[in-house]
Structure 1
Amino acid sequence: MAGSHAELTSLLRGEVDDEFEILSDIAAFTSINGIGSESTDLVIRALEKISRTGPEGEILRSLAMMHGLYPYAVQGADHDSLRDAVIMEMNRPNPASETVFHRIQSQVFHRLVEGENVILSAPTSFGKSVVIDALVQTGRYKNLVLVVPTIALLDETRRRLSQFREYKIVTHPNQELSERNILVMTQERLLAVPQLPAVDLFFIDEFYKLAEESEGTLEQRASMLNQAFLRLAKTGAQFYFAGPVVDGLASVLPSNLRASFIRTDFSTVAADTRKIKASNDEERLAIVAELIGSSCDPTLVYCQSPAKTRKALEALIEQRSSGATVSRGLPEVAEWIEENYHPDWIVSRALRRGVGVHHGRLPRWRAQKMVQGFEDGDLDTLVCTNSLIEGVNTRAKRIIILDRKVANRAYNYFTFANIRGRVGRMFKHFVGEIVLFHDAPTREFPEIDIPGVSQSDIAPSSLLVQIDEGDWSDETRERVSPVLEESGLSLKVLRSIKGVEPEAATELAKHIRTLPTSRLQPLQWSTSYPKWAELRAVCELMWNYIPPSYHRGHGAYSAQQVAYQVNQASLVEGRMKDIIAGFVENEHDQSPSVDEKIEAAFDFVRYWLDHNFPTALRALDVVVSEILEERGLESGSFDGFSARVESMFSAPHLTTLEEYGLPLEISRQLVRGLGNSRSLDEMLEAIQVLRGTERIPLTSFERSLLGEVVATI
């Protein structure tokens, strides 16, 4: 009789000859050691190996019930005992629901329904979205706000919640509100909402990002998330936070916040870890290709950067060139990419061979298709960076961790646990596999601070100025007051340029004040079509004084290059094919491959045009206007050009459709049919009418994309 967790795990990895005996051993282990993470792990492993029909199935179902794995116990049940039936009904959100919670989901749900605040720390496989959906289904909340870290998660959440037709799903700051609303937004978008409705419940996903820091200072997006939390907290609404396993909340936080904290290790999947030795990248890539070539298991390959994903794609394409493709691939997506972006991009070759890629430089619609193709089985392998791990909910049977870094920094155990959490899936992959080429980081979990509440040392000035003056701590007042005095800018101005450090705004203001009147003329724009000298002037101020985080690179290495590429994008009216051609044909670019140049073009568009350039230009507009008015000069406005850049020099709101899954290249063809849509809501209504028309010359693939978008509006 096997007794230890390791012995029983070893037996469950092989063929189970005597199902009754192994189940008896698991029951004995549970009896001796109590119900915990190890006994639950054994039950999950047994679920993969043993059928839930027949006498052994009844024993397995009883073990699943005992461990709170109620959703698994439902499957394959021939009959329920009265006790089991009662337990099942107690763990449904309501009698009519098909959803059955596991034990901890049920506890969290009932605490929330009773009006408590909850800060949940749980493994990735916990199923936090199930709790959210159940809360919406109760109908007790009139207005909910869900703050998610990425646009990809925003759209995934929007699609999932579109089933609740009694609510309007609002994803953009300028959409009109209805009687019942669910606002699904990133922190930046939430802060741009002119006026919030009466919020009943707000949810912050991946709450650990409230404390993300670099070199002792809060990251810019973390600061914005804190600002979003402060705004929501002022409403007095109930809240629910969720994120991966952490040790707890920092002791400097108020006791009422810390009392809301729940930590659980409860997981619904199991995972095996295997380490493989390899001395260099070439060996590792060869092993990855061999592992994937010998198995059809859905596999994620984690890489530290987009450059590394290209190397992985090259190895997999070479391995599959002999005709060893496991899945169908996405040939229709590959063909569209070749026609509308570039015929020689490695991504299209990979898609034809059943391999997808996901990283932060890709167009949003295409990243969505990669995940969808992987979920549907058309792609058996998805090569990814941290953008998938942190930004999308997908699961694989196996994860191969090729690198031990995120960008250029070694990952810690917390990040490793996040990556590992993507392996396994309820009802499909009970036991996942993690393949490593390095030692796993030492097991340690952080305590999470909320600097907007604690006003701790890592809180930047841009966050502190957003706090009501009456709530400033003595330390905050000592930090902020000198900056306010030196800048000569009002607190209102500093608060309006969220994300820009007051110290940086101060230096910018001091510089502009010293300029002679002749040097200020390029800042006095009279149209939304700036001259070259005007565009270059604002880019130099932006680059030198208020640059976005990690601004070097991303398709431009100087203010002059930013101005040049923005101008080129304007000249070709934001057409991606032409922007890519400009990067590829640039003789001064020393990039060794066409693929690097193509991805540099996408990187420039995603980093600069999509968000950072218009955001920085609007902040610059606020400061410049203040100084020019101070000097008695006409200020002009950069806002019109900011809007043009943000919309990729196309009709307003078309770029938003890319978030819904429709490429800008297709939505441009729909402009006439969409009429004079003055808002996103009007455009979404108009596009639903277009679905059935044959007048618009779309390919069958393009029509399928349009149909998918309409289905989730």
Structure 2
Amino acid sequence: MDVFYECQKINDFIETNNEPKARDELIKLLDYHKQEQVSYSPLINNLIRQVGLYPYLDTETSSWQDRFVYESFKTDIGGDARVTLHREQSLILKKLTEGRNLAVSAPTSFGKSFIIDAFISIKKPKNIVIIVPTIALTDETRRRLQRKFSNHYKIITTSDVRISGKNIFIFPQERAAHYVDELENIDMLVIDEFYKASEKFDKERSSALINVILKLGRKASQKYFLAPNISKINENIFTRDMEFVHINFNTVYLEKHDLFNEIKGDDNLKSEALLRILESNNGKTLIYAGTYSNIDKVANLLIDNHDPIESEVLRNFEHWLVNNYDRNWHLTNLVKRGCGIHNGQLHRSLSQIQVRLFEEEEGLNNIISTSSIIEGVNTSAENVVVWRNRNGQSKLNDFTYKNIIGRGGRMFKHFVGKIYVLEEPPVSTETQLDLSFPDDLVGSIDEEDFKQDLTNEQITKIIAYKEEMAEILGDEVFKSMKDESIFESSSSYLIRDIARDLAYNSSEWNGLGYLNSYNTNDWERLLYKVIKIHPGGWGVEYNKFVGFIKVLSQNWIKSIPELLHELDQYDIGVDEFFKLERNVTFKLAATLNDINILQKRILDNPVDISPFISKVSHAFLPPAVFQLEEYGLPRMITKKIHNKNIIDFENEGDLHQIIEKFKEITMVNLVDSVESFDEFDKYIIEYFYEGI
């Protein structure tokens, strides 16, 4: 390569104001320097400075002017770290420190987390709330901020934790509702992936996020919303006082290989292409499969065509999965071949462990995923393969497609991300984000407060809803319930349906107290009643779901292989186990909570079912055991610690007290105290301790 000629080309692009093209060509040139292990010349450094990629400057070979820029753009991001920001990061940080409200659309490789960390370090807010789309991202964010700010802030990720003087709250939107009344003022409200507030992008959970934006937004002195690939936002109440900043500033180059033209929908050719890609690339590869059934297809293909690899940590992981989950599971057979699986249903700790192994040189080389990999974690890879152009039942849209391929490349690690497209991608379009009041929120908002932003039809629905609920509950009771944000469900209509059923079919709700019984057979009639009132989406027939709940009640007593053996009678395997456990802890617990609140006001002889709700919401595990899985510590390890009487998870205290207990014990003493820990248990414990 003629480096001087390439520099000349890049300079020409800069001269003609085509900076994106100049930056792309420069990143490719930097990749060449990395591959050939060539030092940057002062000319290269000067071009880096001109296109704003300041972190890439080599201070050893740059001019004093370029070194000055490198130092000038350094900022404190917490801990001992001072990091040089690129030009656009610095622009956003400047606007935030000036107190502006920002809705920012920036590429996946932009480096948005540095900005949040720098803001906390510089402005030292008292309360900052960070809303993330998934539990996995909650833990990833917590780990990053824990290292830097735990000496000055209480970092809260779960419900029912006592607030301190200075707090960083990190959780998905559903948990934020628990703190609405406890927080008088928020210095900064951060909404990560705020496009999910649109029904178009997340039909199931958008209303919950809109509700959080409304209720916490009113208490926030400043707001910072983040999303990728948004071109514009419609006029709406949620971002009305915010400046929209659209940034097209890439820090890596995506090298696309459109193989779908030669594959032409032939499954055999597609399989051959994937195997060829994996064979010819040494780097880490994300394989986007799109659906659960396609994950199975790709898994079978790799199991049939790849031999086990020599890796001690993966061999230990395989044995651990055999002992703790299922010998015949796809994941068990894949990990020894250097491949993992990521979807939205796996146990949280299991997903986190795989992402950790994917980051390690001797760990996983490939991960097959659904869209959970773009929503759930901030990971990227040298190679991204788009195996299927679908997202669940729907065709892949351009927004999601760009989000997936945006996982290719990473600053300082892979200048160039290689993208292999095996099915025809969607047509490239600009994405406008349309935010509006969902009908589901008719019970949460007051028509007088938002009459300028509601349609006449919505106002009519709100008034009708209020009148009906006031008739069932009484005016004062309904008003106090609405103001206190005590319902778990984001669907006002579900709450109304529960209230109606309790009021007009009260005799059918007799015996709710049987749910507090230790005899699982006593639960059956009421569980059928509960799941029928929340139609659809339980993931299995009603009788199987009720059977599953009864078996799951032994979760703390029995191992997962033992539970799976019992679930054979319902034809429920390990993958379905994850899905149904998630439905129990999330959807069933929320429905039961709303029933419990309403029945106390409606039924003549109400019985508090909170003890049963607590069990359900924690998958029948001790609460701290369930919560520790979000911290990357699986139940099978906490059970070994409990059985050795090192920590009594049934009686020891809340999550934060137990974490302090772990710190007191120390990792070395813990590992030495439990002889039943295998090698992979120890690997996981090390990862857990890193996060606390």
- TM-score, length basis structure 2: 0.90
2:53 aligns with 69
1:429 has 2:379 as partner: no
Offset at residue 274 of structure 1 (A): 1.3
Where does the alignment leave 5 or more consecutive residues of structure 1 unmatched?
1-15, 590-595
Describe the shift of the 1:106–1:30 C-alpha distance in structure 2 as closer, same or farther (beyond 3 A): same
2:595 aligns with 620
1:38 has 2:21 as partner: yes
- Residues 388-408 of structure 1 deviation map (CA, whole Å, 9 limit, x = unaligned): 121111111111111111111
Offset at residue 470 of structure 1 (A): 3.4
Q: 1: distance between equivalents of 2:40 and 2:647?
A: 60
Offset at residue 257 of structure 1 (A): 2.9
Describe the shift of the 1:346–1:227 C-alpha distance in structure 2 as closer, same or farther (beyond 3 A): same
- Residues 200-230 of structure 1 deviation map (CA, whole Å, 9 limit, x = unaligned): 112110011111337xxx7241111111112
Describe the shift of the 1:326–1:266 C-alpha distance in structure 2 as closer, same or farther (beyond 3 A): farther
Offset at residue 23 of structure 1 (A): 1.4
- Residues 109-167 of structure 1 deviation map (CA, whole Å, 9 limit, x = unaligned): 01111111111101111110011111122253122111100000000001111122322
Among 488, 491, 509, which residue is 2:499 paired with?
A: 509
Letter in 1 for 2:163: L
- Residues 293-344 of structure 1 deviation map (CA, whole Å, 9 limit, x = unaligned): 23212111001122211221111122113x6x48766111111110111222
Describe the shift of the 1:513–1:29 C-alpha distance in structure 2 as closer, same or farther (beyond 3 A): closer
Q: 1: distance between equivalents of 2:612 and 2:513?
A: 13
Q: 1: distance between equivalents of 2:232 and 2:112?
A: 18
Letter in 1 for 2:585: D
CA contact (8 A) 1:302 1:403 kept: yes
Aligned residue for 1:621, secondary structure, equals helix
Offset at residue 471 of structure 1 (A): 0.4
Where does the alignment leave 5 or more consecutive residues of structure 2 unmatched?
none
Describe the shift of the 1:353–1:420 C-alpha distance in structure 2 as closer, same or farther (beyond 3 A): same
Among 516, 521, 538, which residue is 1:527 paired with?
A: 516
Describe the shift of the 1:636–1:444 C-alpha distance in structure 2 as closer, same or farther (beyond 3 A): same
Describe the shift of the 1:196–1:528 C-alpha distance in structure 2 as closer, same or farther (beyond 3 A): farther
Q: 1: distance between equivalents of 2:547 and 2:130?
A: 38
1:145 aligns with 129
1:439 aligns with 424
Q: Following superposition of structure 1 onto structure 2, how do residues 50-129 of structure 1 map, counting pairs within 5 Å?
A: 50=33, 57-73=41-57, 75=58, 77-94=59-76, 98-129=82-113
2:254 aligns with 271
Q: 2: distance between equivalents of 1:526 and 1:704?
A: 39
Letter in 2 for 1:601: F
CA contact (8 A) 2:626 2:635 kept: yes
2:683 aligns with 704
Offset at residue 60 of structure 1 (A): 1.3
Q: Following superposition of structure 1 onto structure 2, how do residues 144-223 of structure 1 map, counting pairs within 5 Å?
A: 144-163=128-147, 164=149, 165-193=151-179, 195-196=182-183, 198-213=185-200, 219-223=203-207
Letter in 2 for 1:134: A
2:531 aligns with 543
Q: 1: distance between equivalents of 2:423 and 2:679?
A: 46
Among 380, 387, 401, which residue is 2:365 paired with?
A: 380
Is the deviation greater in 668-677 or in 221-230? Answer: 668-677
Aligned residue for 1:655, secondary structure, equals helix
- Residues 81-114 of structure 1 deviation map (CA, whole Å, 9 limit, x = unaligned): 3322332233122598530111100000011111
Offset at residue 627 of structure 1 (A): 2.2
1:261 aligns with 244
Q: 2: distance between equivalents of 1:627 and 1:53?
A: 74
CA contact (8 A) 1:158 1:169 kept: yes
CA contact (8 A) 1:508 1:541 kept: no
Q: 2: distance between equivalents of 1:687 and 1:450?
A: 44
Aligned residue for 2:245, secondary structure, equals strand
Aligned residue for 2:359, secondary structure, equals helix
Aligned residue for 1:106, secondary structure, equals helix
Describe the shift of the 1:695–1:639 C-alpha distance in structure 2 as closer, same or farther (beyond 3 A): same
1:486 aligns with 468
1:227 aligns with 211
- Residues 656-700 of structure 1 deviation map (CA, whole Å, 9 limit, x = unaligned): 111111110111222232243221111111122333143333223
2:609 aligns with 638
Q: 2: distance between equivalents of 1:619 and 1:65?
A: 57
Among 285, 294, 317, which residue is 1:299 paired with?
A: 285
Offset at residue 532 of structure 1 (A): 2.8
Aligned residue for 1:423, secondary structure, equals coil
CA contact (8 A) 2:382 2:410 kept: yes
1:9 aligns with none
- Residues 351-383 of structure 1 deviation map (CA, whole Å, 9 limit, x = unaligned): 111111111121111111111111112111111
Q: 2: distance between equivalents of 1:152 and 1:284?
A: 31
Letter in 1 for 2:216: L
1:602 aligns with 578
Offset at residue 54 of structure 1 (A): 7.6
Q: 1: distance between equivalents of 2:468 and 2:85?
A: 56
Identical columns (%): 27
Among 457, 466, 471, which residue is 2:449 paired with?
A: 471
Q: 1: distance between equivalents of 2:411 and 2:500?
A: 58
CA contact (8 A) 1:220 1:499 kept: no
1:660 aligns with 631
- Residues 557-608 of structure 1 deviation map (CA, whole Å, 9 limit, x = unaligned): 22x222211011114546422222233x22x63xxxxxx82211122112x2
Q: 1: distance between equivalents of 2:216 and 2:488?
A: 16
Offset at residue 655 of structure 1 (A): 0.9
Letter in 2 for 1:373: L
Aligned residue for 1:162, secondary structure, equals helix
Q: Following superposition of structure 1 onto structure 2, how do residues 14-33 of structure 1 map, counting pairs within 5 Å?
A: 16=1, 18-31=2-15, 33=16
Q: 1: distance between equivalents of 2:357 and 2:502?
A: 51
Describe the shift of the 1:280–1:544 C-alpha distance in structure 2 as closer, same or farther (beyond 3 A): farther
Letter in 1 for 2:560: M
Q: 2: distance between equivalents of 1:56 and 1:192?
A: 53
Aligned residue for 1:268, secondary structure, equals coil
CA contact (8 A) 1:357 1:382 kept: yes
Q: 1: distance between equivalents of 2:207 and 2:257?
A: 38
Q: 2: distance between equivalents of 1:182 and 1:679?
A: 18
Describe the shift of the 1:311–1:141 C-alpha distance in structure 2 as closer, same or farther (beyond 3 A): same
Offset at residue 57 of structure 1 (A): 2.3
2:120 aligns with 136
Q: 1: distance between equivalents of 2:95 and 2:343?
A: 37
Alignment size in residue pairs: 661
Letter in 1 for 2:524: R
CA contact (8 A) 2:290 2:391 kept: yes
Aligned residue for 2:170, secondary structure, equals strand
1:562 has 2:548 as partner: no
1:347 has 2:331 as partner: yes
1:673 aligns with 646
Letter in 2 for 1:482: A
Aligned residue for 1:336, secondary structure, equals helix
Is the deviation greater in 199-208 or in 566-575? Answer: 566-575
Q: 2: distance between equivalents of 1:312 and 1:426?
A: 29
Letter in 2 for 1:515: N
